[in-house]
Structure 1
């Protein structure tokens, strides 16, 4: 009954003068005044996958598996392996390997803002990607009494670093994760700054949530982006609300093309050393994999948006996913036809 009263209070509070924290103000405000967005849309679990072949100089897998890191070794459609698809020695007994790529911000108290979960089929030479919203309600730690602590995935790094982020996502989707890489937003910003920014075309005017400030506003047409703006747009594409999900790979492609052409290998190796991962740099540089296609798996069909009022001055916004939907996501990630 108490949960129901809280929910009713959220959905019927349009006349209240509520003030929320900087982090959640905009999200909760939107939920309060647009209760229809909180209704769960029951849809069949048919994922609208974007099929992206690797072509010419676009080594998308290198980008995905180590986010913005292009191939240091010369290649056409074969690129260097990364923490998710290499092991020392390279394993051959499993049908697929999994990896988690996370972007966090030191400036924002090590909160994590982008989480890309990837699976790689060695037989089909295929990668599948799902991007998990940082507002996802997830098991991020253990309480003093031994019970599971639930909160936003955003805070998972605080309760045990990169290993805890891996454990949290693994529990959420019920899927073992072989490799992880945690990249600081500051490192990504340094990379983008070294290339004098990224040009990216948007189909309409949009306002999206930022990281170090409340929001970014972009005009329709070509926008010149810095590192935080690139990550913020990828976050928006992850939610698939203000920005279509296909922009996730499009943004990766834009960064990859410019990085490959403008950043020398020595500088990339220096940036490499700043990434927290459970695989060595030597392993990354010595092994290669071949990729034919990449498929993205959006989560928007299963997202249930909820807003919770904590007090008269605080509120939180979450995305929650049903167990059946997450099971379907895990199945989709691990079946390669």
Structure 2
């Protein structure tokens, strides 16, 4: 009996040692990948011809990093810009997807907003207003982040940029996505029946790209993008994802850029993960119109102010809201 217990104890120790080595290696791999994809917000650069960029660009003030809340065990709200870049032959690429996430860990909620790609606004790095998805072409990551900040008058704490083809590979690494399609359509050689559908990365990429046959236009497209991101969030939180992490990290290392440090990522996982359980979506209202033969989505100043107020209100702490309510 003692021999049996002794052998069992050795087996348990071996298993624990193997798990320790595995997770230590996992930790090292994650840290290495975080270092590869880290890119602080650079100054705005221009990719326009020299004749149109003779004057140095005015650099807006950098967004302040997340406050030193964690040292005081506080969990303060933060705003993150997620954008996907679709590169085309012969140009820098364009931000095909622009999603603003405002995360309030105290409320355990996240506010998600998709910005229509044809939204007309002042582009940081160019003199004339243009479509907001041209900001990346005008000045890369910095111009994209600064343009969204200027458009909504909301500071952005962090950004995450992903190459759209890399996005497809991430979906495959997580075993695909499952969505509830609102209507049947065909696009890029794929058929998308109405109802629940499971897709691999390439099919999911086609699913989120289609917009011209959608009755809601860009808004329908934004809804499909949000569907896919929600499902990916659910999968990323699952324990089974750990077994696929090596594949996932290799894709992330070649397809992502972010100003989140490794420490930031750990804090997000520990302090903000539960906030992704409840996601509220808001819509940017406006009207489509052609200007000089080019289609734009026009958003009024009143609508931008409404969105700003909603985000500011969402970021308020539960405690401060209770105090205001008691004073009324």
Please state which band the TM-score falls in when normalised by the shorter chain. 0.5 to 0.7
On the 8 A contact 1:137/1:150 being kept in 2, the answer is yes
What TM-score do you get using the length of structure 2 for normalisation? 0.61
On the 8 A contact 2:161/2:257 being kept in 1, the answer is yes
Give the corresponding residue for 2:82: 101
Q: 1:325 to 1:236 in 2, by over 3 A?
A: farther
Q: 1:184 to 1:173 in 2, by over 3 A?
A: same
Consecutive unaligned residues of structure 2, counting only runs of 5 or more, are 1-25, 28-37, 39-62, 315-320, 322-328
Residue of structure 1 aligned with 2:123, choices 134, 140, 155: 140
How many residues are aligned here? Answer: 240
| CA distance in 2: counterparts of 1:317 and 1:160, whole angstroms | 22
Q: 1:126 to 1:154 in 2, by over 3 A?
A: same
Secondary structure of residue in 1 paired with 2:289:
strand
CA displacement at 1:125 relative to structure 2? 2.9
Q: 1:158 to 1:283 in 2, by over 3 A?
A: same
Question: Residue 272 in 1 paired to residue 252 in 2?
Answer: yes
Give the corresponding residue for 1:173: 152
Give the corresponding residue for 2:324: none
Give the corresponding residue for 1:119: 102
| CA distance in 2: counterparts of 1:252 and 1:329, whole angstroms | 22
Q: 1:270 to 1:286 in 2, by over 3 A?
A: farther
Give the corresponding residue for 2:280: 295
| CA distance in 2: counterparts of 1:298 and 1:235, whole angstroms | 18
Secondary structure of residue in 1 paired with 2:123:
strand
Which has the greater radius of gyration? 2
CA displacement at 1:320 relative to structure 2? 1.0
Residue of structure 2 aligned with 1:327, choices 273, 298, 305: 305
CA displacement at 1:196 relative to structure 2? 5.8
- Structure with more relative contact order (C-alpha pairs < 8 Å, separation 6 or more): 1
On the 8 A contact 2:289/2:296 being kept in 1, the answer is yes
Higher helix fraction: Structure 1 or Structure 2?
2
Superposition pairs of residues 17-96 of structure 1, within 5 angstroms: 87=66, 90=69, 96=77
Give the corresponding residue for 1:129: 112
Q: 1:183 to 1:245 in 2, by over 3 A?
A: closer
On the 8 A contact 1:156/1:168 being kept in 2, the answer is yes
On the 8 A contact 1:273/1:281 being kept in 2, the answer is no
Higher strand fraction: Structure 1 or Structure 2?
1
| CA distance in 2: counterparts of 1:217 and 1:87, whole angstroms | 43
Q: 1:138 to 1:205 in 2, by over 3 A?
A: same
| CA distance in 1: counterparts of 2:202 and 2:88, whole angstroms | 12
Give the corresponding residue for 2:9: none
What TM-score do you get using the length of structure 1 for normalisation? 0.59
Q: 1:125 to 1:222 in 2, by over 3 A?
A: closer
On the 8 A contact 1:87/1:279 being kept in 2, the answer is no
CA displacement at 1:297 relative to structure 2? 0.8
Give the corresponding residue for 1:251: 228
Consecutive unaligned residues of structure 1, counting only runs of 5 or more, are 1-71, 74-82, 311-315
Q: Deviations over 1:102-124 (max 9, x none)?
A: 10023464211111112222432
Secondary structure of residue in 1 paired with 2:156:
coil
